[in-house]
Amino acid sequence: MPLPLTLLASPLALLAPAASDPCTLSTSLTLPNYQALQGAQGELRVQVNCPAPERRYRLIWPGAVSSGTGLELELLGGLKVTVQGAAADLGGLNVMSGPQTLRFAVQAAPGQWGVPRGEQRLGKPVLLEVGQ
């Protein structure tokens, strides 16, 4: 009988039930206020805290599109960014285990005129636990 998946509210994660504590996921985006004339560069940090080092999982960013080794995301304010080198780690291709802290360079290209100036908010990735 397949195990049901449980949806956690904050941060968003999908986990198969297990006897030990679940893995938790947090993200932060450091990006200066966007201005269409100059664009912006920053950093995305993804931290996974898995109490059991043998717990295996994939990270998936809903709505993201692979672009070479990068991942293209649209922030909640509408700003489109490229997360450099994140296609495998945040696109669900790599299986990881235990605690992880991932850091990626982020670039928002200039010329996105319809985007409101100022702070942009980050959506949430999904943590999908995989079998042993």
What's the per-residue H, E or C state across 34-46?
ECCCCCEEEEEEE
DSSP 8-class letter at 69:
T
Task: Give the start-to-end residue ranges of the domains of the chain.
Answer: 6-30+38-109+122-130
Q: Strand pairing partners for 52?
A: none
The pLDDT assigned to 4 comes to: 34
Tell me the three state secondary structure of residue 24: strand
- Per the structure block, which two tokens stand in for 101? 């802290």
In a structure prediction context, what are the per-residue pLDDT tens digits for the chain, which is 132 residues long? 333 333 333 333 444 444 467 889 999 999 988 888 999 999 999 999 988 888 899 999 999 999 999 999 999 889 999 999 999 999 999 999 999 999 999 999 999 998 887 777 888 899 998 876
Q: Which sign does the torsion angle of CA 63, 103, 101, 132 carry? A: positive
The pLDDT assigned to 54 comes to: 87
Name residue, tokens 């605690």. 99
Query: How far is it, in rounded angstroms, from Cα 122 to Cα 125?
Result: 9
Q: Which sign does the torsion angle of CA 76, 104, 27, 54 carry? A: positive
The pLDDT assigned to 119 comes to: 74
Query: How far is it, in rounded angstroms, from Cα 127 to Cα 95?
Result: 11
